[in-house]
A and B are shown apart, each in its own frame.
Chain A
Amino acid sequence: GENVEQHPSTLSVQEGDSAVIKCTYSDSASNYFPWYKQELGKRPQLIIDIRSNVGEKKDQRIAVTLNKTAKHFSLHITETQPEDSAVYFCAARTREGSNYKLTFGKGTLLTVNP
């Protein structure tokens, strides 16, 4: 099955700096890669996603890049703000029979210091 590795597990940055979180996946058939933000005790929220036919996608301060050959994708947050502090999860989607299944990375605790 799919295996998703996520690094780093914790990341601390100063407000205004950039933050980068990296993930690798094992199944070359995976074709959809979402990123979720989870604040303490709350549900994960989708913040950005990318499909396998695209190499990069940007939404304001957030961008995601995908390298299919190397099977890795990254989340980039620029001009970080304290409210960006949360746990971020990457995921890769594979198809199993008639179902699409998401496999999550272990998460990155991002702390933005004011």
Chain B
Amino acid sequence: GAVVSQHPSRVICKSGTSVKIECRSLDFQATTMFWYRQFPKQSLMLMATSNEGSKATYEQGVEKDKFLINHASLTLSTLTVTSAHPEDSSFYICSARDVGPGGANTGELFFGEGSRLTVL
């Protein structure tokens, strides 16, 4: 299947700093990527939908100024956690959708490896 690569896999930072996480679709073009947050032993919570060339669509309760998303190309989306605080510590996972039988946005969803953020 298609491959989605996420980097870094682990990052530790000091409170107040910003952290950028990259999500790349390696062998397909993804017009849409998704960013999720997952707390220990909990489900994947969608944070935002990232559309190439346009602004991201954020879910209710997600601060767009704190979680900056940029989808500058068809293979790369970035999530920047600005002025990180300990409560931002979490597992962040991106996903990208391959083109499916119904056309764009209907294919299988592939997940990145995830990035574990620890804010001290």
Chain B: CB-nearest residue to A43: B111
A100 contacts B44, C-beta separation under 8 Å: no
Interface size on A, residues (CB 8 A): 22
Query: Interface of B with A (CB < 8 Å)?
Result: 1, 32, 34, 41-46, 49, 51, 57, 93, 97, 105-106, 108-114, 116
Name A residues whose Cβ lies closer than 8 Å to a Cβ of B. 32, 34, 36, 41-46, 49, 89, 98-107, 109
Q: Cβ of B113 and Cβ of A43 under 8 Å apart? A: yes
Chain A residues, Cβ within 8 Å of B97: 100
Closest CB in chain B relative to A18 CB, distance in Å? 24
Known contacts: A42-B114, A43-B93. The answer to whether A103 contacts B46 by CB under 8 A is yes
Q: Is the CB of B93 within 8 A of A44?
A: yes
Across chains A and B, the number of contacting residue pairs, with CB separation under 8 Å, is 51
Contacts of B44 in A (CB 8 A): 44, 89, 104
How far apart are the CA atoms of A42 and B6 in the complex, in Å?
Answer: 12
The listed residue (A34, A45, A107) touching B42 by CB distance below 8 A is A107
Asked whether B43 lies within 8 Å of A46 as measured between CB atoms, the reply is: no
Complex contact B106–A100 (CB within 8 A): yes
Q: Which residue of B lies closest to A102 (CB)?
A: B109
Residue of B at shortest CB range from A107?
Answer: B43
A21-B44 Cα distance, complex, nearest whole Å: 17
Which residues of the partner chain A approach B34 to less than 8 Å between Cβ atoms?
A: 102
List residues of chain B with CB within 8 A of the CB of A103. Answer: 46
Chain B residues with CB under 8 Å of A107's CB are 41-43
Given contacts A42-B114, A109-B41, 13 further A-B contacts (CB under 8 A): A32-B106, A34-B109, A42-B113, A43-B113, A45-B111, A89-B44, A99-B32, A99-B57, A100-B97, A102-B34, A102-B109, A104-B43, A106-B42
